[in-house]
Structure 1
């Protein structure tokens, strides 16, 4: 694959300059700005299968997949046809439509959730679920974990995940609140613990459990790099329910990514509420939250907890989500195939790093993977503080080496990458060849 054009001559560079004049930082989501890896963000013109093509005509093997939704690959025929069919009937109604009923029926059947409410983003889903938990329990405090990212609602921007880890000035893990514009009084209602620290969670619940409405968590963390929960931590999470506290699994990233029942099914979780996004919209803007009927019945218009959205249940997003989930259900072996590809990718990356003398630690579960640039055994990065020890300069050098060789990796040390059904042997071999050369260029 050819090398990318220089900043001064590329169309992406020109578009970035135009964008910076009219959008904060030239982007609509911070990690896209390449601040932590340097250089010019690539402006994407099209996507097909496992590939992206930028505004300069450069083609890349894509391991972001729109940050997870494109599990079938970009522009999958079934999804494209479903959206085209829905488009022929209109883009938005502001009224109920049949597709939202069909998708709700499918989601509840596959996940065991008894009720579901659609929204338009993951942030809306988590924000709404927490409001519901407070309304249902009559309590005001929530608990989250360092390195877990649940969207940009005010009460959740406390020790936030990858975007602030890679863009904040100063040390990693800024003190609460972790964004300007969030009142300290509001942030104080969120209690922050370490992920994979069951003793700390048990201790907090023992002393303050009667005040805590909900514990929200990423079953498998993707926004501090991939962090995998220990069995002891999962057991402690389930014990919070003994205090009348609701357990909320944020599956915006892992829902339908790790199994047809998400991380909940894979790990044997029993949450009261779950939040979804990404895959359930097939790449269109979407979010949802759902769970036990007795809790969900507190949502308006049936209950006293208000939540609304003009584009909730949008017919185009519902059509894309239906097509994606139906395709996943029709291919029961796909998750094993994705896991096998990603395992081979992890093995090849480990071997390439060792050959180049670059210390890395790789975490992988299913089709999610992170290469942490640090000297630690694979799988040993388990907490936010572990991830924060990574060499971000080494990662940035490797990222640029990969990009120059036609591989589009996540532009942050603290992110998961995602594989898709469109990735095959040709993409794997090209990726590992690029990775070997990129590791050689890292100054460790």
Structure 2
């Protein structure tokens, strides 16, 4: 990343995918043939300053390839690829939400991406708000991250042995998260939550876990559950293949419902091993915690001898350098991290108090291992990403998030459509529900059919929004004001058809 200050003249991309740039108010124009430059304002107060990043040929299109501008015709290339995929891959995708079933369409197959833009298999360009479901906080193919990956790869793809990068990464996590004394690397968010629960059970000698409806913690058997008929009824499986006995070790309570949580602790506090929570829910849409809810979880756990676990796979290093716990000034017993910390590669981690983490083998008797844990290439991407995310970057994300939130709210109001926009930092959801949405049973009342129509309208206007009413959208520092303006216009126009 290069700090650039051009005085009264500011560099601006005329077309982020073409390499054409302008200076100032269009008084000069040139073509960047060998390097792509992306320029974004860092704050409202410093309008003449820009983050300028450059990479050699980040999108190497052949001369015959054309970037199709929206609205695009039917993506026959993705349709053909999806049909082929269904013959070899369950459902045609490697993660269910990618199938677009919630919005009734054909998934867009992606060939490459740079900055805030992705390029579909048919050559159509989209402004991306999925951001790899969160990790791409510095934008796609950021040159600093790409260079770090390339350099690490030349030294070896994997060793199955300790490396200096593991030590540096662990130290960086501890700096950002004062609640973490010790941290262990794994390869996915699911591994992180699964391992954290095992550690909590090993530490407390208890089995019962409390989670909250609508919060997703990976495809861990004991966490793929839904609430029973009463608040203290043992949970039942929410997925085929999960044994009833496994689900019976979990209680599922309404998110943001402190009264229900207090009741369970009063009745069964001495049996509870841990409470795991998304501090900001992102898998039922973006739902912030009510004031006092998270603090109460920590307090109740402390009094009962249970372990409080913040699942910050989504919020970690996204809402602030220290994630949600920095934003809300809280220190849970354990934390799960993923997504952003890997810079787009498979890397996750779990950590916490030294007394709890000491139960992990080889120091303790709780076993957890992984062939690719602490992969050096993934660590290189993660460390490069974390280095780029300074205070100015988070200020930038907050500024962009505010612009997008206000624009979407205005579009809903102008069109007279019942809806609300809920945002925390650089993650947000437009609910087709009058709001506010504070828990799962309210989220599911959203008009998913209207969302599906709106989503199709956004795609046709070149905006790649998460293909589910219940998935948060994300921003990156690579998004520009022009991206936000285009997105708001697309949202407003798409709503006209509803």
TM-score normalized by the length of structure 2? 0.83
The correspondence of residues 213-224 of structure 1 with structure 2, limited to 5 A, is 213-224=273-284
Cα separation, 1, equivalents of 2:302 and 2:154: 47
Residue of structure 2 in register with 1:168 after alignment: none
Partner of 1:245: 306
Aligned residue pairs, count: 421
Distance 1:352 1:83 in 2: 41
Note if 1:129 corresponds to 2:196. yes
Partner of 1:190: 250
CA shift at 1:269, angstroms? 1.6
1:170-192 per-residue CA deviation (whole Å, 9 max, x = no partner) reads: xxxxx721000001111010001
Matches within 5 A, 1:108-127: 108-112=174-178, 113-127=180-194
Instruction: Confirm whether residue 356 of structure 1 aligns to residue 415 of structure 2.
Output: yes
Q: 2:347 aligns with which of 286, 293, 298?
A: 286
Residue in 2 that maps onto 1:14: 80
User: Distance in 2 between the 1:423 and 1:340 partners?
Assistant: 11
Task: From the two aligned structures, give the one with the greater strand fraction.
Answer: 2
- From 392, 406, 427, give the equivalent of 2:448: 392
In the alignment, structure 1 residue 268 sits paired with structure 2 residue 329: yes
Supply the distance in 2 between the matched residues of 1:71 and 1:159 (Cα, whole angstroms): 31
Higher relative contact order (CA 8 A, sep 6+): 1
- Kindly report structure 1 stretches of 4+ aligned residues shifted beyond 3 Å: none
Give yes or no for the alignment of 1:333 onto 2:392.
yes
Task: Specify the SS of the correspondent of 1:144.
Answer: strand
Structure 1 Cα separation of the partners of residues 496 and 347 of structure 2: 41
Q: Give the Cα separation in 1 of the matches to 2:480 and 2:408.
A: 16
Aligned residue in 1 for 2:464: 408
**Residues 1:180 and 2:240 are matched in the alignment:** yes
Separation in 2 of the partners of 1:151 and 1:235? 24
Candidates 355, 364, 372, aligned match of 1:303: 364
1:433 Cα offset (Å): 1.1
Q: Which of structures 1 and 2 has the bigger CA Rg?
A: 2
1:431 aligns with 2:487: yes
Conserved in 1, the CA contact under 8 Å of 2:419 and 2:431?
Answer: yes
Aligned to 2:163: 97
Structure 1 residue 154 corresponds to structure 2 residue 214? no
CA drift of 1:336 comes to: 1.9
SS at match of 1:94: coil
Instruction: Indicate conservation of the 8 Å contact 2:295/2:330, yes or no.
Output: no
Query: CA RMSD of the aligned region, Å?
Result: 1.1
Contact 2:454 2:494 in 1 (8 A): yes
Question: For 1:429, what is the secondary structure of its paired residue?
Answer: helix
Please give the per-residue CA displacement for 1:308-336, whole angstroms capped at 9, x wherever unaligned: 000000011000001011111xx312212
Mapped contact 2:126–2:462 kept (Cα < 8 A) = yes
Mapped partners of 2:330, 2:236: distance in 1: 29
Report the Cα offset of residue 71 of structure 1: 0.7
CA distance in 2, matches of 1:67, 1:91: 25
Equivalent-residue separation in structure 2 for 1:311 and 1:66 (angstroms): 21
1:6 Cα offset (Å)? 1.7
Could you say which residue in structure 1 is the equivalent of 2:72? 4
> Tell me, what secondary structure is at the counterpart of 1:21?
helix
- The superposition leaves residues 351-398 of structure 1 with CA deviations (integer Å, 9 ceiling, x where unpaired) of 11222221111111100100110123xxx2111111111000000000
Among 55, 66, 79, the residue aligned to 2:121: 55
Q: Distance in 2 between matches of 1:360 and 1:304?
A: 51
Q: SS in structure 1 opposite 2:483?
A: helix
Confirm or deny that 1:367 pairs with 2:426.
yes
Give the 3-state SS of the residue equivalent to 2:237 in structure 1.
Answer: coil
Q: Secondary structure at the match of 1:47?
A: strand
User: Aligned ranges for residues 61-76 of structure 1 at < 5 Å?
Assistant: 61-76=127-142
Q: Which runs of 5+ in 2 are unaligned?
A: 1-68, 228-234
Instruction: Tell me the residue number matched to 1:171.
Output: none
Following TM superposition, by how much is the alpha carbon of 1:110 offset from its aligned partner in structure 2, in angstroms? 1.4
User: Which residue of 140, 144, 149 corresponds with 1:83?
Assistant: 149
Corresponding residue for residue 167 of structure 1: none
TM-score normalised according to structure 1 size = 0.93
